[in-house]
Amino acid sequence: MSDKGLVVVIGATGPLGKECVLALESQGYHVRAASRRVEVAREMLLKSVKNPSRVDFVHVDVLENSVLSSVLKDAHAVFFCASASAGWRVPGTSKNTPKQVDYLGAVHVAEAAAQAKVKRLVLVSSAMVTNRTSFPYLFLNSSFGRIMHWKRQGELGVIETHEKNPEMAYTIVRPGHLINEASKGAKSIMVDQGDRISWRVSRADVAQICCACLQVENTMNATFEVAGRKQATSQSNPPDTYEALLTTIKPDKKLSTTGQS
């Protein structure tokens, strides 16, 4: 196992989950790629990683706590990159809806991580998830099974789990509009807090930000947004590493005083 420890990626066959697996493995982490489609994950990822011996493949269902406990065993951190692929459905007809995956799945993983003594949970949510009058919120929520509502509930559930189990830190990363492009580097993206930005950003850059969180202490128990820069920065010395970008992030206030539904 790598000296950097084991990181579990939930949703490893998704576009962002794949990028997270590749980023973690390239940085020397041992990665447990967890998915409902193990063989698909194996075929997709083994040809792309630098060192196949650093990647394991396991089946996971985020709604089955008994499975999660074994998947998270010995993990230093877990990345929750899963998101529903089904929108509006008759209740009970699909396990892949926003309520089931983005909310209940996120909470189940957080609870299982706390029980397994995992030190860090990185939850990938969505920008504008609390900005209910924004176009992204209104459009996605109405067309895709209230996904923004359920993502926010997932965030709150993760924070509540942390407050009951403070030894498990969380980081909530809210990317803007995700696109499939090569990483453009730290100078091409920005981070913010307050749910005010949602511009296009590559999944590869978001994956790098998620990895950087493991190295930047002030991202523990914090929520922040990631987006591409609309234009070249005017800063004379813009941050040239993902870690440097994250130095301004501040921890969240206590949920009991600021939590929103």
How is domain 6-256 classified at the CATH fold level? Answer: Rossmann fold (3.40.50)
Gap between the Cα atoms of 58 and 15, Å rounded = 17
* pLDDT single digits (tens) 56-97: 999 999 988 888 999 999 999 999 999 997 654 545 546 789
Q: Which residues of the chain have pLDDT under 50?
A: 1, 88, 90, 93, 233, 257-259
Report the predicted TM-score, pTM, of the whole model to 2 decimal places.
Answer: 0.92
Q: What pLDDT is stored for residue 257 in this prediction? A: 41
Q: Are 173 and 123 in contact (CB under 8 A)?
A: yes
Q: Which of 86, 163, 166, 78 is nearest to 124 (CA)?
A: 78
Chain Cα centroid distance, residue 169 = 14
Rounded to whole angstroms, what are the CA distances from 126 to 27, 28, 52, 76, 165?
25, 27, 31, 24, 24
Q: What is the pLDDT of residue 112?
A: 97
Q: Copy the structure tokens of residue 10.
A: 């939930």
Residues 6+ apart with CB under 8 A from 209: 173, 189, 191, 226, 242, 245, 246
Rounded Cα gap, residues 34 and 62, in angstroms: 10
pLDDT of residue 1: 46
CB atoms within 10 A of CB 238: 15
Other C-beta atoms closer than 10 Å to the C-beta of 89 total 16
Q: For the chain, what are the domain ranges?
A: 6-256
Neighbours of 225 (CB within 10 A): 25
Are 106 and 81 within 8 A, CB to CB? no
